[in-house]
Amino acid sequence: MVKHWRVDREEKYEIVEKWFLKDLEMIDGKEADTDNPYFDMHFHKVYNMEAYSCASKYTFARTLNKLNATYLKKDFKIVNFDDTYLNDDSIWSSSNRDFLVVMRVCFYASNLLCLSLCRFS
């Protein structure tokens, strides 16, 4: 866990706490249906975390999942995350998933806008 603050124009970072991936039991995204940066990490106790953005929360979860698959291969739970953005076999997956997440949201928003402007007789 990193603490971030600014002193004048200089940004400072301090490592506050470290954990081992093998001790992580679960990541809880809290609400898969909302765009929020909050999640819980379950070790021997539960830590409430806040990412910089929802996209960075998903990037963090994907990274932990890949590290686990590569090195530990243990039963690792990721709950309350949208599976579409976590899986590599998704149609939205690429090396730049965060951009694709934004594109998908924009696509749905534009569809809603078009539908709201259409007149049905």
Q: Give the domain ranges of the chain.
A: 2-90, 94-120
Confidence label for 23 from pLDDT (cuts 50, 70 and 90): very high
Closest CA to 58 of 101, 95, 91: 101
Is the confidence at residue 30, as pLDDT, over 60? yes
Q: At what angle do helices 97-117 and 54-67 cross, to 10 degrees?
A: 140
Residue 5, classed as helix, strand or coil, is strand
- What pLDDT was estimated at residue 38? 94
Side-chain half-sphere exposure of 95, counting CA atoms within 13 A: 0
CATH node for 2-90:
2.30.29.90
Alpha helices in the chain (DSSP H): 54-67, 97-117
Please state whether the predicted TM-score (pTM) of the whole model is above 0.75. Answer: no
